[in-house]
Amino acid sequence: MTGLWKVRLEATAFRADQFPLQDVPEIAVAGRSNVGKSSLVNKLLGSRLAHVGATPGKTRSINFFAVESPACPFRLVDLPGYGYASRSKGERNQWSALIDSYVSNRASLELVLHLADFRHGLLANDTALQDWLSHLDLPLLVVFTKGDKISKGARRGTLQKYIRNGLKSVDVPIITSAEKGDGIQDLRLFLEKYLASGDHTSPGGSPEE
Ligand SMILES: Nc1nc2c(ncn2[C@@H]2O[C@H](COP(=O)(O)OP(=O)(O)OP(=O)(O)O)[C@@H](O)[C@H]2O)c(=O)[nH]1
Ligand SMILES: [Mg+2]
């Protein structure tokens, strides 16, 4: 069991000058629109602070949640989704510029949780995100969402298939369900261990490194 996490919404940023100071480690949650980022943030934090929506494009700002955990204080950062085609090109560009300004210049960013729908695995723009983050030397952990949509018996085989197809992840991807709670405690424990281990200077996930 992890100890209790005390949480609050610390900042909502539409522009880079609204980001908080880089005084604690940050773990960001990235992924396609509607994949379940805000739902997972709420489930992890045991809160309803992040806004969830049935239609893609719900989160338009970067939301910083301050967490006091037994490991150390840190921030969980809920990012807007990508790959949502129905918005205007201008608005899409504005979003990607905001995400880019965060991810590219954030020394306190220690890990990106890359969320992907367990029914679909990694799609083309997910692979593009993986390549981009690796290029920036940012470690990422793949977290599958909506695991409840796949029967328990089929989950292992589905996971193996996605791993065989190729993905970058610092550890074995975690299958979660924000609806049922599956995998949430595993993910909490992973994050606490990751934060407590402190040295995350060699990203990648290659065991030989
Ligand atoms: N069945 C199921 N539905 C889920 C799960 N997680 C999220 N959803 C649903 O998926 C939809 C999108 O959830 P959000 O958490 O808003 O997704 P998001 O990735 O934050 O979306 P954007 O902010 O638009 O990028 C909502 O209707 C959620 O109820 C899950 O684990 N299981
Ligand atoms: Mg969201």
Cβ(182) – ligand 1 distance below 6 Å = no
- What range does the domain containing 38 cover? 7-197
- For the Cβ of 30 lying below 6 angstroms from any atom of ligand 1, the answer is no
Q: Is the CB of 85 under 6 A from ligand 1?
A: no
Question: Tens of pLDDT along the chain (209 residues)?
Answer: 456 899 999 999 999 999 999 999 999 999 999 999 999 999 999 999 999 988 888 888 999 999 999 889 999 999 999 876 556 666 666 778 899 999 999 999 999 999 999 999 999 989 999 999 999 999 999 999 999 999 999 999 999 999 999 999 999 999 999 999 999 999 999 999 999 997 554 444 443 33
Q: How many domains, the chain? A: 1
Closest CA to 46 of 188, 193, 196: 188
Q: Whose CA is nearest to atom 10 of ligand 1?
A: 36
pLDDT at residue 198 in the model? 77
Q: Which atom of ligand 1 is nearest to the CA of 78?
A: 20
Q: State in Å: Cα 77 to ligand 2 middle.
A: 11
3-state secondary structure of 15: coil
CB atoms within 10 A of CB 159: 20
| Angle, vertex CA 149, rays to CA 183 and CA 56, nearest 5 | 95
Q: Looking at residue 159, which CATH number applies to its domain? A: 3.40.50.300
E strand or H helix that includes residue 11:
strand 6-13
Does some domain include residue 88?
yes
Q: Give the pLDDT of residue 206.
A: 41
Element (H, E) at 77: strand 73-78
User: Does residue 144 lie in a domain region?
Assistant: yes
Rounded alpha-carbon distances, angstroms, from residue 119 to 5, 63, 127, 130: 30, 27, 16, 19
* Dihedral in degrees, nearest 10, Cα atoms 37, 175, 164, 33: -20
**Residue 162 confidence (pLDDT):** 98
Beta bridge partners of 15: none
Q: Which residues contact 202 (CB under 8 A, 6 or more apart)?
A: 209
- Packing angle of the helix pair 37-45, 184-197 (nearest 10 deg): 80
Q: Which residues contact 115 (CB under 8 A, 6 or more apart)?
A: 29, 30, 31, 32, 35, 36, 37, 40, 143, 144, 145
